[in-house]
Amino acid sequence: MASHENTPHSKKGFVSAGLGHSAVVLESGDLMSWGLSRQCQLGVDYLTEKDAKKGKELPPPEDRHTPDVVKALKASGDKVTSVACGSSHTLAVTSDGSVFSWGAGAFGKLGHDDDSDVRIPRLVEFKRKRIARVSCGPEHSAVVSEAGEVLTWGAGSYGNLVRRTLTR
């Protein structure tokens, strides 16, 4: 039987489960994650600007057996509306239609025009588009804009990436 001792004491708004990690959006707009963190897919680490300027470094990522707040999104004041967990990365949408990604960056699946891993949630740039929904595959990502456009990126060896913009 599943234990409920370590669950956050707030109503849940949205949940997603990846290969070894999970995330939940609380009714408050906070995002919590837990599970495997070897590829930085939890996003729970955080450095203040002051600490970053001082050259402070984060310790190695640790697996989390209980939900922990994604501090960078909470500190920014952004309210998360939905989340998607892939095998080794995570995407979150905020109430203003922005998308943040973090985790393993292989194949460009984080949407930052490179293959770098990202430990602290980072904004994905969309020119004048507000995003409504996100989804993660094992090595690719997809979003739906508020206008109904489908945008994809990452590994596309099986035809899983759309090479043109789809609209309703």
State yes or no: pLDDT of 5 exceeds 50: no
pLDDT grade, residue 161 (50/70/90)? confident
DSSP the chain: ----TTS-SS-EEEEEE-SSEEEEEETTS-EEEEE--TTSTT------HHHHHTT--PPPP--EEEEEE-HHHHHHTPPEEEEEE-SSEEEEEETTS-EEEEE--GGGTTSSSS---EEEEEEEP-TT--EEEEEE-SSEEEEEETT--EEEEE--TTS-S-SS-B--
Q: What is the pLDDT of residues 47-69, one digit of tens each?
A: 888 888 898 989 899 999 999 99
Answer with the residue of higher pLDDT: 29 or 78.
29
The whole-chain average pLDDT of the chain stands at 89
State yes or no: pLDDT of 4 exceeds 50: no
Quote the pLDDT of residue 166.
52
- The whole model's pTM is what? 0.87
Quote the pLDDT of residue 51.
87
* Under 8 Å between Cβ of 106 and 114: no
pLDDT grade, residue 10 (50/70/90)? low
Single-letter code of the amino acid located at 42: L
If one counts every other C-beta atom within 10 angstroms of the C-beta of residue 80, the result is 26
If one counts every other C-beta atom within 10 angstroms of the C-beta of residue 65, the result is 9
Q: What is the pLDDT of residues 80-134, one digit of tens each?
A: 999 999 999 999 999 999 999 999 999 999 999 999 999 999 999 998 899 999 9
